[in-house]
């Protein structure tokens, strides 16, 4: 797949407000936050969309989710709540083709989403 701006953030070629990092996962604040807390959790391995995740990377997706959950707990808003969202392709509203979880918190979320 082609490089994306998230690849540049992983390589520290462009700045980001990084809040969490481990061997497989990086998390940083969204540049256009949609809630008081809006953090993107990405695998360091570039995978374009959810449709492109191979069976062999199922554990990586688990790590991504657990990293977001652990960070939510560490920040103290896990019990009041939050939303994890992944957009896939055009109808899903995906604009950056390196998979990511949006972690949104700090306000009441609504349903259905726009
Ligand atoms: P998507 O639309 O693909 O689900 O989410 C991409 C997200 O990346 C958007 O929420 C957008 O605001 C965020 N984003 C786009 N460019 C940058 C950037 O340069 N830095 C950061 N931190 N976030 C970005």
Question: Ligand 1, from 20, 27, 31, 91: best to mutate by most atoms within 8 Å of Cβ?
Answer: 31
Q: What share of residues in the chain are helix, strand, coil (percent, to 5)?
A: 30, 20, 50
Residue 102 gets which letter from DSSP? E
Beta-carbon count within 10 A of 12 CB: 9
pLDDT score for 2: 65
Distance separating alpha carbons of residues 20 and 50, to the nearest angstrom: 22
Residue the block writes with tokens 């989403």:
113
For the entire predicted model, the pTM comes to 0.98
Q: What is the second-level CATH architecture of the domain 5-105?
A: 2-Layer Sandwich (3.30)
What's the token pair of residue 61? 């997706």
Distance separating alpha carbons of residues 78 and 58, to the nearest angstrom: 24
Name every protein residue with a CB atom under 6 angstroms from any ligand 1 atom. 5, 16, 28, 30-32, 40, 87, 93-96
> Is 100 marked active-site?
yes
Residue the block writes with tokens 């306000």:
107
112 prior amide bond cis, ω within 30: yes
| pLDDT means over runs of 10, the chain (114 residues) | 89 98 98 98 98 98 98 98 98 98 98 92
Distance separating alpha carbons of residues 81 and 78, to the nearest angstrom: 5
pLDDT score for 114: 84
């Amino acid at each position: 797949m082609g490089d994306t701006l998230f690849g540049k953030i992983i390589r520290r070629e462009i700045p980001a407000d990084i809040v969490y990092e481990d061997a497989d996962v990086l998390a940083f604040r969204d540049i256009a936050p949609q809630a008081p807390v809006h953090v993107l959790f990405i695998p360091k391995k570039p995978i374009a969309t959810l449709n492109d995740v191979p069976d062999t990377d199922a554990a990586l997706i688990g790590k991504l989710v657990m990293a977001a959950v652990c960070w939510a707990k560490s920040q103290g808003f896990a019990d009041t709540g939050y939303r994890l969202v992944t957009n896939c392709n055009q109808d899903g509203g995906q604009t950056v083709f390196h998979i990511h979880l949006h972690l949104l918190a700090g306000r009441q979320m609504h349903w259905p989403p726009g």
